[in-house]
Amino acid sequence: MSLEVRAHDQPVPADPGAAVSIRGTAFIVGAYEHPGRVLPDISAAQIHVEAAIGALSDAGLQLSDVDGYFCSGDAPGGVMAMADHLGLDVNHLDSLDVGGSTYVAEVSHAAQAIAAGKCTVALITMGGRPRSGARRTAPSTGPAYPFEAPYGHSNPASYALAARRHMYEFGTTSAHLAEVKAAAAFHAQHNPHAFLQKAVTVEEVLESPLIADPLHRLDCCVITDGGGALVVVSPEIAADLPRRAVKVLGAAETIKHTNVGDVDLTYTGAVRTGPRAFEEAGVTHADIDYVSIYDSFTITVVMTLEDLGFCAKGDGGRFVSDGTLRFDGALPFNTDGGSLCNNHPANRGGMTRTIEAVRQLRGEATPAVQIRDCEVALVHGTGGWLGTRMGSATLILGQEDA
């Protein structure tokens, strides 16, 4: 069966066969976001350590309780080196790298490992110093790099390609995209740790310099140091902890390829992960109280919401207008300010998106933007590039009694 789904067709998720559901097999009991955004004096490894201790402390656990460790390419030396650095004695290891979708998928991997009896306390860490340290300027060093880089392929250029095509196909405007930034900035002004804490208007976004036409500077995510960690445990462990837990309800992940050059830029991998995650979670779009969408660029959010099914394909620009994404709107998103304003270490926004979803479900978000009666949240990460190849991961979380 072809892995590609045309944007104008109904998405057809792959048949999972006899796959076992992870619904209710695991709970997030610890979450920690490093407060630093510019950290010139500590190493990336130390950020991982501080995040790990913070998340375990939040859960009421210690490093000695961990029997499963999960990380990605931002971990110095990889999973083996970081497990040694943390002093972990674990039965299960997992290292995945699908860019910004990595840590959304890693929660699913942790739940799968727990369901399979491979571990009972899974620690997931992320950390990096792209602002203070060396920044990766090339979008990839993979097989396609020699054929793409000479022609100006960069992160902003790739997303700009998708944005321009979306505008051509559906009439989306730069003002529509700017609505996403305005909503994120409205939330960030209430976050004392946010890298950018100033509210901005749609007009201010449009007046900011062009980076890659049609994307303006304020359409682009921030670059920060920092990190975070999550602790995912079995139901038995969760029941013995005093901390309020968040239940993993459903998850899915996929990769969208370039299809040997026959690329449709108007859709993302969310057309496949969304239906599968909703089915496993047993919820509908109407049940979602809050969405955490990796906002690498404003166009990422518009296309992701379409492909997840919150609006029809092509209607994303109009959907996000008129305050829809604000905490008091029809579909609140990224109440910490997201990667557009708050925090974006190591190009792996899926971690911070998941942490904020956990806060919302616990009722522990910044009071000014806490969603009332938040019971079900959706997290989605996009890794790679909208203009070429990408990883996508969707995670649906709920109250512990859901």
State the pLDDT at residue 14. Answer: 47
State the average pLDDT over residues 361-388: 96
Distance CA 144, CA 127 (A): 27
Q: Which domains does the chain have, with CATH numbers?
A: 27-132+222-399 (3.40.47.10)
| Cα–Cα distance list, 145 to 73, 141, 152, 265, 402 (Å) | 18, 5, 11, 19, 45
State the pLDDT at residue 144. Answer: 83
Quote the Cα angle for 310-316-319, to 5°. Answer: 75
CB within 8 Å of 186: residues ≥ 6 apart: 199, 326
State the pLDDT at residue 146. Answer: 85
Least confident of 22-31, 34-43, 134-143, 251-260: 134-143
State the average pLDDT over residues 46-68: 98
State the average pLDDT over residues 321-329: 96
Helix, strand, or coil (residue 14): coil
State the average pLDDT over residues 267-294: 98
| Cα–Cα distance list, 276 to 59, 104, 273 (Å) | 29, 15, 5
Maximum CA extent, the chain:
56
State the average pLDDT over residues 26-55: 97
Condensed to tens digits (0 to 9), the pLDDT of residues 124-174 reads 999 999 999 865 544 556 788 888 888 888 899 999 999 999 999 999 999
User: Which stretches does DSSP call E strand in 259-374?
Assistant: 290-293
State the pLDDT at residue 10. Answer: 42
Q: For residue 3, is pLDDT > 50?
A: no
Encoded tokens for 353: 């998106």
State the average pLDDT over residues 357-367: 98
Quote the Cα angle for 402-309-23, to 5°. Answer: 25
State the average pLDDT over residues 37-51: 97
Which of 163, 220, 226, 218 minimizes the C-alpha distance to 193?
A: 226
Which of 23, 19, 131, 34 minimizes the C-alpha distance to 352?
A: 34
State the pLDDT at residue 249. Answer: 98
Beta carbons of 366 and 197 less than 8 angstroms apart: no
Distance CA 90, CA 241 (A): 20
Helix, strand, or coil (residue 176): helix
Mean pLDDT (the chain, rounded): 93
State the pLDDT at residue 19. Answer: 66
User: Which stretches does DSSP call E strand in 45-184?
Assistant: 68-71, 92-95, 121-128
State the pLDDT at residue 43. Answer: 96
Cβ atoms < 10 Å from Cβ of 35: 12
Distance CA 369, CA 192 (A): 13
CB within 8 Å of 210: residues ≥ 6 apart: 216, 217
Q: For residue 361, is pLDDT > 80?
A: yes
State the pLDDT at residue 142. Answer: 79
State the average pLDDT over residues 102-109: 98
Least confident of 19-28, 102-111, 139-148, 368-377: 139-148
Q: For residue 240, is pLDDT > 70?
A: yes
Q: Which residue has the higher pLDDT, 135 or 94?
A: 94
| Cα–Cα distance list, 289 to 124, 328, 331, 357, 374 (Å) | 25, 11, 7, 10, 6
